[in-house]
Amino acid sequence: MTKFPQRYNIVLFMRKILNEKVFVAMSGGVDSSVAAALLKKEGYDVTGVHMLCWEGCENNRDKQDAMRVAAVLDIPFLVWDFKKEYREAVFNYMVREYSAGRTPNPDVMCNKEIKFGIFLKRALEAGADFIATGHYVKKSGSALLQAKDKSKDQSYFLWTLTQDQLWHSLFPIGGYLKSEVRGLARGFGLSVAEKKDSQGLCFVGKIDFGEFIKNEIPKKIGAIVSPDGKKIGELDGALFYTVGQRHVLNLGGQTAPVYVAVKNLLTNTLVVSQEKDSLLYKKELFAENFNWIDKIPAIPFSCQVRIRYRQPLQEAVLYEDGRVEFLCPQRAVAPGQSIVFYAPSEALAEEGEETEMLGGAIIKE
């Protein structure tokens, strides 16, 4: 009697027969590098792609690291120039949002317009069946789930995905802890195994963001006021600040930390308060521009939400007019930022507790 190979070997064999092609967005970091290595090990026909999205990144360390990883894995390596598209879709969006007094989320927009927008489109045109990224998130059928490593989970930045984009996307490292990913990198012999995580603006890196945006928007001297309306300082423009931002003032000869509680663009003033001041906390918000990954929930909808990356999930209720009411008042609700909705996954209830990211919206007010 013929003995069938193990299930894993069958999968590898079928992928070789089908010749499933995947283009991996390789940033030069450990996460996307391990994603590429895992996919090759699983039998996919893997091509690495490094995206250039900002002036000066044509031959930097990240590109060199991505090339070295591709060489070790013995996979084709491409460099695609998206600098023009990034400036139009991400950078100009940031400037518009700040100019309107809102707080943009460039990582969400970068995923929507670049990684799962133009990169996916070009990869499919080049013959790919899938794209893959180093995001910490899991896919199960038509659902998107939180990653195994909750401290690294990046589902918050992926709420704009459509079913078509999700169908063509793979997230190989979502089932691993960060420490396990580094261990895999060492096992694969990748030079980026101990490389530090990138920080700062998507594709641009660590910058002084305040000075960065002030080069694009004119300064306009305004006032910093206390909750009772007393002027206690000056600023370069209310546009450059976000609700909840920490600021240090010289008050009576002593430096004191305060936090932006209210932005008034008409008067170009900031109202600042102490950390525990009720002005910093809101019981509800209104959202707009909703996107649901799969099914639209029945409204009103009791769910969990987060209004910033890595924030613990908060209990809330969503109403038909876009109002979200929190069980506990939330600190620093910033218009322009994303609110993302979560609930226990019904599809995987029997396999253990999993949290599904259902979709999101933009905070309006």
Decide if 328 is catalytic.
Answer: no
Ordered DSSP codes for 219-270: ---EEEE-TTS-EEEEES-GGG--TT-EEEEEETTEEEEEEEEEEETTTTEE
CA atoms of 190 and 28, how far apart (whole Å)? 11
Cis? peptide before 300, omega within 30° of 0: yes
Among the options 53, 110, 303, 328, which is catalytic?
Answer: 110
> Tokens standing for 220?
């306009």
Let me know: does 294 contact 165? Beta carbons within 8 Å. Answer: no
DSSP 338-354: EEEEEEE-STTGGGS--
Q: Out of 57, 202, 303, 328, pick the active-site residue.
A: 202
* Both structure tokens of 4: 């069938």
CA distance to 31, 98, 134, 267, per residue, from 38 (Å):
11, 40, 11, 55
What is the distance in angstroms between the CA of the first residue and the CA of the last residue of the chain? Answer: 69
Helices (H), the chain: 7-18, 30-41, 61-73, 83-86, 92-99, 106-110, 119-125, 163-167, 178-187, 209-214
Q: If you search the block for the tokens 């308060």, which residue do you land on?
A: 273
* Residue whose entry in the numeric block shows the structure tokens 């309107």: 100
For the question of residue 202 being annotated catalytic, the response is: yes
Q: Known catalytic residues? A: 110, 202
